[in-house]
Amino acid sequence: MTLGFITDRSEQDFWFAREHGLELEVTVNPPFDALDSLAQVLELQDRYGVSVASCGVWGAEYFAADAAQAEAARALVPRLIDYAAEVGAPTCCIGAGSEQPGRTLAEQVQDFLPLLRRWIEYAEDNDVRLALYNCHWANFAYKPEAWELIWDALGTTSLGIKFDPSHPFYDGRCYLTELRDWGGKVTHVHAKDTLKIGDQIIYDVPAGMGNIEWGRVVGILNYHGYKGCISMEPHSGPWLGDRRYEGILLGVNYLSNFVL
């Protein structure tokens, strides 16, 4: 296993990653202009010798009511796969599009499967492994009920899961059970912790400062033979601002108890 963090693609991030022996993750959020940063990232990789563990598109709406918006979102995935292949990232993460009112989960899976099959094949042709992320953002396929339908339909497949234990925790589901049952599909992991007092979630904090049982998470990952990256995800409050690097190191130092 390796440790890393989500980069803003700045030179400072590449320097920081090199100094602390970390990998980087490139995330692409609306308006998706980060996909135009390929030349910049390649140059920084060459200068600092830092590897990119994963790339991902968040918030893409492949089934938007506006046909042009849907087509633009669909066009992002092959571009992301190309980006991942160029920077040497072994995995790239996508959602499945938002839950659609009035449609069952099974119906949404059937709508998504033709796109997904095409993208999986394109990723395999480029030596990249496609993964579904497990958060709600523009994604109906964030939980085991959807995964069961998708994997049953696909059969043997290289499709993976990007797992973040905070999301099932938010929803009141058992992240340890989900990881136990689906950990063999996990290709990438996000590490942010969630501070919950009583029934109130206060905010997201660096790994080790909240309620997530990271020792058990890593134990289950080891059980499944996971060899990928655990990527720090600064998410709330000062950890997104002037304490960002401090928060990354706090999470890295804590997880180093379990990851050698």
Instruction: Output the domain CATH number for residue 161.
Output: 3.20.20.150
The per-residue b/e assignment along 201-222, b for 16 or more CB within 10 angstroms, e otherwise, is beebbbbbbbebebeebbebbe
Query: What domain range includes position 24?
Result: 2-255
Asked whether residue 245 is assigned to any structural domain, the reply reads yes
Asked whether residue 83 is assigned to any structural domain, the reply reads yes
Domain tally, the chain? 1
* pLDDT score for 58: 97
Residues of the chain with pLDDT below 50 are none
Q: 43 and 73 in contact (C-beta within 8 Å)? A: no
Asked whether residue 260 is assigned to any structural domain, the reply reads no
Asked whether residue 149 is assigned to any structural domain, the reply reads yes
* pLDDT score for 177: 98
Asked whether residue 158 is assigned to any structural domain, the reply reads yes
* pLDDT score for 260: 79
